[in-house]
């Protein structure tokens, strides 16, 4: 009888261990994504370490032969090296530091600037991993970064895409499908309003002026597909100018070459 109880207890313990293993995600497993090139969100735990504003927090994620690497463009040349691990390990003999490349970014106001870009190995998606950095002063800092929400990268070119507008009084609308231009990871949309009384639009902290005179108000703004994009537009159709909040949503399933 005691033997039977011991065997039963052993079986229960084994089942519990197998169940626990099944519930624990394996970070060493290969990527769930098929080989290809994607745009993905790159987030960090530091305000000084982030993707250049031109790229809206995203980098180019390449998946090949069960390995993932994300290419990110930074706001400046202040970060001179990265290391896929801790700051302590980065300073050990033989540590292989990530070297920057120099790229030129063009800002919405037309200004250009040379900045650093890096290719960072990505061990897994949707979970934080260590990535240390060193600046011009030679001090190493620990950071946690994560890569998430990959979407297939769209080749450079001209497209049309269905867009929906929500918010405001519900009386305004925008032309759909909208004209879309993709160049160097940046997606730009032509927004044509149903009214001529919009003086400017804002996306984040950037203000955009109309790109044409006469007819309905028309703007060119950077957008992200399959994401609710919060924008504001100043209308003069009322007795006093009002800045109204709207949400734009571009459906990538409707994307067509123009």
Helix (H) / strand (E) element for 244: namely strand 242-250
Q: How many CB atoms lie within 10 A of CB 247?
A: 13
Distance CA 88, CA 202 (A): 43
pLDDT of residue 4 exceeding 70, the answer is no
Which pLDDT score, from 0 to 100, does residue 14 have?
Answer: 42
Q: Look at residue 84 in the predicted model and tell me its pLDDT.
A: 97
Helices (H), 24-165: 87-90
Q: What's the CA gap between 73 and 217, in Å, rounded?
A: 33
Termini Cα distance of the chain = 78
Topology given in CATH for the domain delimited by 36-152: Immunoglobulin-like (2.60.40)
Give me the torsion for CA of 48, 51, 53, 59, rounded to 10°.
-170
- What average pLDDT does range 210-222 have in this prediction? 93
Output the pLDDT for position 243: 94
Domain coordinates in residue numbering, the chain: 36-152, 157-257
Q: What is the mean pLDDT of residues 215-230?
A: 93
Sorted by sequence, the CB contacts under 8 Å of residue 185 that are 6+ apart come out as: 39, 55, 58, 60, 153
For 13-72, the pLDDT digits (tens) are 444 444 444 444 444 454 578 899 999 999 999 888 999 998 889 999 999 998 999 999
Supply the DSSP string of 217-238, one letter for each residue: -EEEEEE-TTSPEEEEEEE-SS
Kindly state the helix (H) or strand (E) to which residue 184 belongs, with its residue range. Answer: none
pLDDT (average), residues 210-216: 90
pLDDT at 117 over 50: yes
Give the pairing of strands 36-44 and 144-152: antiparallel
Residue 216 pLDDT grade (very low, low, confident, very high; cuts 50, 70, 90)? very high
pLDDT of residue 224: 86
Q: What is the mean pLDDT of residues 4-8?
A: 44
DSSP codes, 66-104: TEEEEEEE-SSS-EEEEESS-HHHHTSTT--PBPPEEEE
Same fold, 36-152 and 157-257: yes
Nearest to 84 by CA among 52, 30, 124: 124
Q: Average pLDDT of 76-81?
A: 97
Tens of pLDDT, residue by residue over 161-186, are 999 999 988 889 999 999 999 987 78
The pLDDT of 106-134, averaged and rounded, is 95
**Residues 6 or more apart whose Cβ sits within 8 Å of residue 212:** 218
Q: What's the gap between Cα 163 and its chain centre?
A: 20
Class of domain 157-257: mainly beta
pLDDT value at position 31? 59
């Amino acid at each position: 009888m005691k033997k039977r109880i011991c065997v039963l207890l052993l079986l229960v313990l084994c089942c519990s261990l197998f169940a626990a293993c099944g519930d624990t995600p394996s970070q060493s497993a290969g990527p769930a994504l098929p080989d290809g090139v994607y745009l993905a969100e790159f987030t960090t735990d530091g305000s000084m370490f982030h993707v250049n504003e031109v790229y809206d927090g995203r980098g180019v994620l390449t998946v090949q032969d069960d390995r993932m690497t994300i290419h990110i463009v930074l706001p400046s040349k202040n970060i001179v090296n990265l290391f896929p691990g801790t700051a302590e390990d980065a300073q050990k003999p033989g540590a292989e530091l990530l070297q920057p490349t120099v790229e030129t970014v063009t800002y919405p106001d037309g200004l250009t600037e040379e900045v650093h870009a890096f290719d960072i190995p990505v061990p897994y998606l949707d979970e934080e991993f260590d990535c240390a950095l060193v600046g011009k002063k030679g001090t190493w800092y620990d950071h946690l970064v994560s890569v998430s929400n990959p979407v297939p990268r769209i080749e450079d070119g001209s497209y049309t895409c269905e867009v929906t507008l929500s918010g405001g009084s519900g009386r305004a609308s925008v032309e759909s499908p909208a004209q879309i231009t993709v160049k160097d990871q940046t997606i730009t949309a032509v927004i044509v309003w149903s009214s001529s009384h919009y003086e400017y639009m804002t996306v984040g902290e950037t203000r955009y002026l109309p790109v044409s005179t006469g007819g309905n108000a028309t703007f060119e703004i950077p957008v992200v597909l399959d994401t609710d994009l919060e924008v504001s537009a100043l209308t003069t159709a009322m007795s006093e100018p009002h800045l109204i909040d709207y949400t734009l949503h571009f459906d990538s399933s409707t994307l067509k070459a123009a």
